[in-house]
Each structure stands twice: as structure tokens, then as C-alpha cells.
Structure 1
């Protein structure tokens, strides 16, 4: 996982994109559209390597005695993510039709019809898909962990550890610095097409609902964890405030881990559990992100009169809970990992609608990251209780 200076200025980039989209001629805007198109293909190519680079080393770092904890923590994190996504779907389908005016968006016609096209495109297919990368990462990670417990596998471990460093360098030098330009170009194109202000008027209400659900879900997690462990949930929530605001400001799970460990310590979580669960959940537990992504996806489907029933959305939520394991601790990591699976709901991963989702997600990613981080410590309380109650002898 990596940190990024991009998190400091996403709103400024988006504002400039909107303003310049109003005044620049189409030939100039198409330069940025061309860059966004090329960068989108590059991201699709890099994503499977991101999964392997981060997940293999994360799992292989687990040593003897961590097998049960890995299974328990992974199961709880996955269930929490799926529950959060399901709640977001229920909120979107029951509340959004009552508070949103989709007629303003419909007046813009087909959003893909009015967007500018790039000057040229370069075909760049990923070497393998994301599902294959996830399965491979889990197989290799668990196998390397098993070998290391037998005193073997160090060479293989070092190979993937160095590969992880390569991916981190790749992201910090060629992906994260260029991501603001990608978002910049997307907003310019949306503004030029005439859909920007209609879209923002809709999504502003969506984001308010999303943030409220973030807070309610994190509160429910701590209430459950406190009731199970005998800890005061309100005290635990109070102790979590520094972690929440650190994530809100940095927009990075990785940057928040040290602060989150201190929050876990204040909540009385044992050292062996907090030092295991908090970094692991920073990768596998993204309840806040799935709330945002599900809400935005359902809204986009509503906008375009596409199917958003349970048979369409629930499989997407189930897959997303696994796919986001690959999300790095950088702005937009969750939506980038979700990108290849948008086809499940009928949105092509390289379409303008996908670009719209990326741009809208990243503009408020800090709130999702803060919810993720806070939920991690609630899970740590639960795992700590299970460990001392049933596992530790």
C-alpha cells in the first residue's frame, strides 16, 4: 500500500476541470480526453499486478498460529463489507427515487452520446484478468506462509516482496501523480457535454445520504463489538476519532495505520491482535467504500433507466467484497479494483459511465476511507474477544 500527495487536492482539480470545460474549445479538451482514455487502459493493465503485489505479501507475512485468526478476521471483514453494501442498496432503492430528480439528467440525453472522443486509442489488454489475479494471490500467499512456517520458501517470499516494492514504485511514480489529470480530463469532458451540473445536483444528495450511512454503520459496528466484549461502545467511538479524522485528511488507509493502532491500544485491544488485525483489515475490510460504490452505481443505473434489481446488484456486491481486497491505500483504490466488475451491472469498464463513477467516487473518497478505518478497529475488538475467549489457552 502507498501514500499519496494527490489526496490533498482532488477537489481543486475537479473544480478546474469543470471551469475549463465551460470555456476551452473542443480540440483542446480532446487532448485531455485522449490522455484519460490512454490512462484508463493503463490502469486496467496495472490492476492485476497491484493485486498480486499487495495481497501475496500481505498473506505470506502471516506466521505460525495466525491461520485461525486469518480465517476469522477475513470472514468477519467480508460479512461486514457485504452487509454494508446491502444496506447501501436498500437505502438507494428506497430513498433515492423520493429525493432525486432524474428528469434533469434525462434532459441531457444519452451521456455517452455527448462526450468527446479521444484523438486516438492504443489497444492494451491486461495480461490476465482480476479474478485470476485474486485467486493466484491467495494461493501463493497461503502457500508461502505454509512454507515459511516449515523453514522454507524464503526465496519465493523475497521474490514477491521485491515485486511488491516494484508495484509500489510504479504506483507512486506513474499512477498516483497522473490520476488527478485523469480526473481533470473526465470532469472537463462531462462539463463540455452539458451533463456536469445536472449530475452534481443529483450526486450531492447522494453523498449526504452516503455519509450519514457511513456514520450509522460504524456506530452499529462499535455497538455490536462493545456489547460482545463488554466495552463501552461510546468510549470506543471517542477513542476512534483521531483515526477517523486522520483518514479523512490523508485519504489513505496506509497513512492511517499507525494512528489506528494507537486508537486500538486505547480501546484495550491486545498487542498481538491489534498489530495483526488493523493492518490486515486496512486491505480486506472496506465497508465504507462499498457503501459509496453501491450507492453511486445504483444511482447511475437509475439515471440511465437500467436494471438495478437484486438479481443485478447483489452478485456485484458479493464479488466487490472480494475484488476490493486488491484496493491499495491510495485515493480511488477501491473503485479501481471494482472497475473490471462493472460489467456485472451492465456498465463497461472503459465506458464514460465508468469514468463518471470514478470521478464521483474519488471526490468524496476520504469519507469512505474514514469509515473503513473506523470499522477496522471495531472488527479488531471482536477478533480480540474471540481470541481470548476461544483460541488463546
Structure 2
């Protein structure tokens, strides 16, 4: 096989399988030949560098586009569904924060010497937060000031809601182009995972991977709690009857498929068919399902919050209750603009890390660790995101019909 054929085979191959192979090879090399494994540290560093460079523009464009695409005159039927999407995503981030405090995760990073120092207190954090909000947008992008980036993205996105449709199409096209660039970067994940795992095992032994397993347990545990406890409670308040038959159906028919496709956008036809099977209003679900695939991201909010707190715990930063609540809001906003590609939510973690004064270099290392566990994490995240699209649409539609019939 020549080089051209190898590149084509690599690009057309399964990313999940490639990451698994890279993970196994990295563990094997780090355990058997640690002195050789250390030479592959450059692969992990290059991958971290690519993540660090693409993250600021990704946050700016995707959040801007997510807000700009919302119509001011949304139909009355859509408003309660959008509210459920926001409440569900915020509740998911709260669950993630609580579990992260109960079971703090500390990580073995590729370059631990770069870990930031902790801020002196909440006043310093709030003062820094205010000054970051009023930062120049160009400077915010160039220095990876995610608070400033998020502020300008929200303001410009809100202003663009009144733009003519052609302008919104241009914004959507730019967001699509940025997503394509992200896909190119993510295709490098197998090399990055190999370099990071090989270096970690070579320097700390297999015990260095224990923190990654702990991180995965916290992430998946939070997603299960949201899917099986929090979402049913939200649905019960909406329809006032046993929510679990509807919850189980959405998880079985939507969540299972999304687990394997790892894309909320790719699961839209499945959700459409399920909504039709449930007898929901086509006028409602034809809008709410595609909208949910872009802004209803409870799983992404969990990923952002858990990994940001893992970065804080690794850096020795004590997170206060006020900071934790601010993180929930940031995770919710970031999740609503998360890219629809596999692993897209991981690239929004630096935005949340910036709340605690964690450097972009350290945050990018945490993102890279996220790709190590991403095979399972991203599948569970997408299953939660996609199944909740149908669940909340159905709950809102049922509530409207019951009110109409009473």
C-alpha cells in the first residue's frame, strides 16, 4: 500500500476503531518500551496545539450562529419546547457539578508543569470576569479570552436575529465551514491519543490511566442520572403522569441509534419517525427536532462542566458555590452552540476553564484527555442529547393537547 492509498484508507476509516487501536498501541508501547514511547510525545503535543488553535474561533462562530438562527417571532407551540430544552440542559450541568464535587477528578496531563496557579478568591474571579467581558473582540480571539468571545458571540448573534434570511444563510455557511475544519482536526485524534497514552504510561505506568477511568465513570454516571431521574421529573411536571413509558421509548428507539451514530444531526430522521409514531403534531416536531439537534445538548453540558471541574481540581483550584453556578450557565450556553460532529463538545471546554483562570494550554491538554475516553463518552452524550429532543417535544405536545381537551 503506497502513501496515497494509506491516507485515503485512514480518512475513510472508522474514527472510533482508529482511536481504540491507537489507545491499545499507546498502552502497549508505553509499558513495553517506555524510552521509545517518550519520543512520541510530539504527536500528543501537536494534537493539543491543533485543539488550542481551533477552539476560540469555534466557540465564537458556533454560539453566534446558534443565536442568530432563532427567529424572533417563534410560534407559540415552540416556546414551551425551547424552555424545556434550556431547563433540561441547565439541570444537566447542575447534576454534573454536584457529582464532580462529590467525586472530584484529578487528571494526569501530558505537560503537568504548565498547570496554572489558583486565583486568590471569588472577588479576584469576579473582577477578572468583568474585565474579560469588556475585552476587545479581536484581542479576545487572539488571547483565547473565552468570556469575551462568548459575550461578543451572544451580542452579535442577538443582533443578527433581525438580519435578512440571506445574511443568516451566510452565517450558517460560515459555521458549517468551521465545523468542517473541526472535523479535520478531530481526524488527527488517533495520532494524538497514541502520543498522549504512550507518554502517560511511559512516565506514570498504567496507574496514570486510572484517572481517565474515574473521569469516564463520573461523566457516564451523570448522564444516566439525567436520563433516568432528572428528565423524567421534568416531563412529569409537564404531563402530570408516569413519564417512564415515554422515557423508555425515547431511549430505546432514539437513544440506542444515536449511541452508535454519535451525531445528533444524523439521528434527526430517526427522531422524526419516532415523533410520527407517537402521533405528535407534525407542525411542531418538524421544527423542534432539527432545532433540538443544535441547541438541546444536555450531554454536552455535562461533558463541559465535568472536564472543566477536573481541570480545576487538577490545578489545585478551590471552586466556590458562586463559581460553580457561573460554570453551569457557561456550560449551558456553550452546549447550545456545540458542534454537531463527534467530539464537538470537547472543544468548548477551554471556554469553561477560563472562568477559573486556567490557561488555554492546560485546557487544551484536558480536551486531549477527553478524546482518550471519547469513544464511550461521546456515544453516551449523543444518546442523551438526541433522545431528549423527542422526549421534550412529546411532553410539550401532550401537555398542549390535554389543555385543549379540558
TM over 0.5: yes
1:253 corresponds to 2:264: yes
1:13 corresponds to 2:32: no
Compute the displacement of 1:271 (Å). Answer: 1.2
In 1, the alpha carbon distance for the partners of 2:388 and 2:402 equals 21
1:143 corresponds to 2:162: yes
1:112 corresponds to 2:112: yes
Q: Report the CA distance shift for 1:345/1:226 in structure 2 as closer, same or farther (over 3 A).
A: same
In 2, the alpha carbon distance for the partners of 1:288 and 1:374 equals 11
Q: Report the CA distance shift for 1:314/1:209 in structure 2 as closer, same or farther (over 3 A).
A: same
1:181 corresponds to 2:214: no
Counterpart contact for 1:247–1:256, Cα < 8 Å: yes
Q: With the length of structure 2 as denominator, give the TM-score of the two structures.
A: 0.74
Unaligned runs of 5+ in 2: 1-12, 116-140
1:380 corresponds to 2:393: yes
Compute the displacement of 1:367 (Å). Answer: 0.9
1:237-294 CA deviation, whole Å, 9 max, x = no partner? 3322121111211211111121122223333322122222122122222222323433
Q: With the length of structure 1 as denominator, give the TM-score of the two structures.
A: 0.77
Q: How does 1:203-222 map to 2 (within 5 A)?
A: 203-220=212-229, 221-222=231-232
1:73 corresponds to 2:86: no
1:83-134 CA deviation, whole Å, 9 max, x = no partner? 122122222323x26xx8x7xx7xx89961399xxxxxxx976698343224
Compute the displacement of 1:67 (Å). Answer: 4.8
In 1, the alpha carbon distance for the partners of 2:261 and 2:66 equals 22
In 1, the alpha carbon distance for the partners of 2:357 and 2:142 equals 22
Compute the displacement of 1:336 (Å). Answer: 0.8
In the alignment, what sits opposite 2:125?
Answer: none
Counterpart contact for 2:63–2:334, Cα < 8 Å: no
1:39-80 CA deviation, whole Å, 9 max, x = no partner? 123312541464168526743xx5x95254554433322222
In 1, the alpha carbon distance for the partners of 2:237 and 2:181 equals 44
Q: C-alpha root-mean-square deviation of aligned residues, in Å?
A: 3.7
In 1, the alpha carbon distance for the partners of 2:340 and 2:179 equals 11
1:351-393 CA deviation, whole Å, 9 max, x = no partner? 265345533552422112111122222221233245556799x
Counterpart contact for 2:303–2:346, Cα < 8 Å: no
In the alignment, what sits opposite 2:3?
Answer: none
In 2, the alpha carbon distance for the partners of 1:38 and 1:161 equals 26
In 1, the alpha carbon distance for the partners of 2:259 and 2:393 equals 20
Which residue of the other structure, out of 374, 384, 397, is the alignment partner of 1:362?
A: 374
Q: Which piece of structure 1 moves more, 124-133 or 85-94?
A: 124-133
In 1, the alpha carbon distance for the partners of 2:61 and 2:51 equals 15
Question: Partner of 1:334: helix, strand, or coil?
Answer: helix
In 2, the alpha carbon distance for the partners of 1:38 and 1:109 equals 14
Counterpart contact for 2:219–2:302, Cα < 8 Å: yes
Aligned residues: 361
In 2, the alpha carbon distance for the partners of 1:111 and 1:208 equals 24
In the alignment, what sits opposite 1:133?
Answer: 153
In 1, the alpha carbon distance for the partners of 2:197 and 2:95 equals 29
In 2, the alpha carbon distance for the partners of 1:190 and 1:45 equals 27
